[in-house]
């Protein structure tokens, strides 16, 4: 065995030993490929495991492509289906990058999610001005119809509206003061789902949100406002699911009972729940890789044991799969010491980290779902 492999296994063993004191019944860290994949572990429990990917990574990185196929049964474009990507020039819609990912999913027998039709970020520069003119509603509707219509039933489920809640804007029902809210009022949300339902009557429609995971006042306000919105949309038959982005932060206060109650309240609305963008921000964790990896894995495990313990949760999607493709190395989320984030299950070399094994253990421990 090469000294490099020995060293890697030694570090992995050290990581495991330092983590074992933090977590019970964790599988000893191994880089062997004979372990059951995250995909197979999830499917055994009636769940699915997937990841967010970019067209660039899928086209330019064959090893990463193989890692996606090995561990995932579903993918989601991290950018290519957004308004800013598709129609940077008004009236000139370009779907080619998104089509790369849809075609990859078909060829690889993976499902693919749609993300996201209406979001206050990543909008083309021309949109705010055009929405404000008398034809704004037609532009809004055209965008949703064209994007959802282009992909049709090749999309397993859609995040029609993303991140519409922001209590800090102090608007009724905690809604975000986005350009959509300013121009159309709160009704833009229902309108978006009405249009989506008309275009794709059989496709599950989701509302996707972040900042509902922790036990501080900000998260409590977001949870309350999000449940209020979900109730309103569900009552009108406009949504089928709720996406909890699950962007975790080592060191933030997580209250298992509080979060479990939130999941139960969402499940009581008869919504499917997905963990849609899971990753771990490790800016508060020590620089040392083995200590940091153990802290990340422990934090993730505590969250996932609660989340996957709720049977309404049907899937876990990580936002990049490998540290090679995390969004967390850019400001304002990058670590102060400039070291790269380690919040994905595979490291920069696509090797399984302690976090991979923590996810595997949480999947193995999850109650079996009937689909």
Query: For residues 57 and 195, which CB has a smaller minimum distance to ligand G3I in the complex?
Result: 57
CB 210 within 8 A of CB 164: no
125 is a site residue for ligand G3I (CB under 6 A)? no
Rule CB under 6 A: which of 161-200 touch ligand G3I? 162
56 is a site residue for ligand G3I (CB under 6 A)? yes
- Tokens matching residue 62: 């064959």
Query: For residues 76 and 355, which CB has a smaller minimum distance to ligand G3I in the complex?
Result: 76
Query: For residues 54 and 73, which CB has a smaller minimum distance to ligand G3I in the complex?
Result: 54
Residue 189 C-beta: closest distance to ligand G3I, Å: 16
CB 346 within 8 A of CB 323: yes
CA distance 282 to 329: 10
Query: For residues 203 and 245, which CB has a smaller minimum distance to ligand G3I in the complex?
Result: 245
Which of 210, 255, 206, 201 has its CA nearest to residue 233? Answer: 206
- Tokens matching residue 113: 């999610």
Residue 97 C-beta: closest distance to ligand G3I, Å: 9
Query: For residues 210 and 298, which CB has a smaller minimum distance to ligand G3I in the complex?
Result: 210
- Choose, by CB under 6 A, the member of 82, 219, 299, 335 that binds ligand G3I: 82
Backbone angles phi, psi at 245, to 5 degrees: -60, -35
Residue 111 C-beta: closest distance to ligand G3I, Å: 18
Q: Which one of the spans 76-84, 100-108, 143-151, 253-261 is the region binding ligand G3I (CB under 6 A)?
A: 76-84
Encoded one letter per residue, x for contact with ligand G3I by CB under 6 A and - for no contact, window 235-254 reads ----------x---------
CA distance 291 to 297: 10
54 is a site residue for ligand G3I (CB under 6 A)? yes
Residue 277 C-beta: closest distance to ligand G3I, Å: 5
Size of the site for ligand G3I (CB under 6 A): 11
DSSP-derived 3-state class of residue 133:
coil
CB 367 within 8 A of CB 311: yes
CB 209 within 8 A of CB 241: no
| Sequential DSSP letters for 245-280 | --EEETTS---HHHHHHHHHHHHTTT-EEEEEEEEE
Query: For residues 274 and 360, which CB has a smaller minimum distance to ligand G3I in the complex?
Result: 274
Burial 23-49 (b: 16+ CB within 10 A, else e): beebeebeeeeeeebbbebbeebebbb
| Contact residues for 207 (Cβ-Cβ < 8 A; gap 6+) | 159, 160, 161, 164, 226, 229, 230, 233, 239, 241, 242, 243
Q: Which one of the spans 10-18, 75-83, 130-138, 148-156 is the region binding ligand G3I (CB under 6 A)?
A: 75-83
Query: For residues 290 and 322, which CB has a smaller minimum distance to ligand G3I in the complex?
Result: 322
Backbone angles phi, psi at 178, to 5 degrees: -80, 170
- Choose, by CB under 6 A, the member of 277, 282, 293, 310 that binds ligand G3I: 277
Which of 251, 271, 253, 250 has its CA nearest to residue 216? Answer: 253
Encoded one letter per residue, x for contact with ligand G3I by CB under 6 A and - for no contact, window 320-339 reads -------x------------
Query: For residues 78 and 362, which CB has a smaller minimum distance to ligand G3I in the complex?
Result: 78
Q: Which one of the spans 13-21, 58-66, 77-85, 172-180 is the region binding ligand G3I (CB under 6 A)?
A: 77-85
Rule CB under 6 A: which of 143-162 touch ligand G3I? 162
* Residues in contact with ligand G3I by the rule CB under 6 A: 54, 56, 78-79, 82, 122, 162, 210, 245, 277, 327
């Amino acid at each position: 065995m090469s000294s490099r492999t020995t060293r890697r296994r030694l570090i992995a063993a050290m990581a495991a030993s330092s983590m074992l004191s933090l977590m019970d019944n964790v599988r000893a860290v191994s880089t062997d490929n004979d372990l059951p994949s995250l995909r197979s572990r999830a499917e055994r429990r009636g769940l699915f495991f997937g990841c967010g990917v970019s067209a660039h990574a899928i086209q330019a990185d064959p090893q990463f492509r193989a890692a996606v196929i090995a561990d995932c049964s579903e993918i989601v474009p991290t950018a290519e289906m957004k308004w800013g990507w598709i129609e940077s020039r008004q009236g000139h819609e370009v779907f080619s990058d998104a089509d790369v990912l849809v075609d990859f999913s078909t060829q690889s027998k993976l499902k693919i999610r749609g993300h996201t039709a209406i979001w206050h970020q990543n909008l083309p520069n021309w949109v705010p001005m055009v929405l404000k003119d008398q034809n704004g509603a037609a532009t809004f509707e055209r965008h949703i119809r064209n994007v959802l219509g282009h992909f049709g039933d090749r999309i397993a489920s859609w995040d029609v509206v993303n991140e519409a809640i922001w209590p800090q804007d102090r608007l009724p029902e905690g809604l975000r003061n986005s350009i959509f809210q300013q121009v159309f009022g709160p009704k833009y949300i229902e309108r978006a789902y009405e249009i989506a339902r008309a275009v794709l009557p059989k496709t599950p429609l989701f509302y996707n949100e972040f900042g509902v995971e922790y036990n501080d006042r900000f998260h409590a306000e977001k949870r309350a406002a999000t449940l209020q919105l979900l109730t309103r949309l569900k009552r009108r038959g406009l949504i089928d699911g709720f996406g909890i982005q699950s962007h975790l932060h080592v060191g933030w206060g997580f209250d298992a009972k509080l979060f479990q109650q939130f999941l139960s309240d969402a499940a009581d609305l008869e919504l499917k729940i997905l963990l849609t963008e899971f990753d771990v921000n490790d800016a508060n964790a020590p620089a040392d890789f083995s200590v940091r990896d153990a802290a990340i894995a422990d934090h993730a495990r505590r969250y996932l044991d609660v989340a996957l313990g709720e049977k309404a949760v049907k899937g876990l999607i990580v936002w990049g799969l490998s540290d090679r493709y995390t969004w967390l190395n850019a400001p304002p989320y990058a670590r102060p010491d400039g070291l790269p984030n380690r919040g994905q299950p595979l490291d920069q070399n696509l090797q399984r980290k302690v976090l991979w094994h923590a996810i595997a253990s949480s999947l193995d421990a999850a109650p079996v779902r009937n689909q």
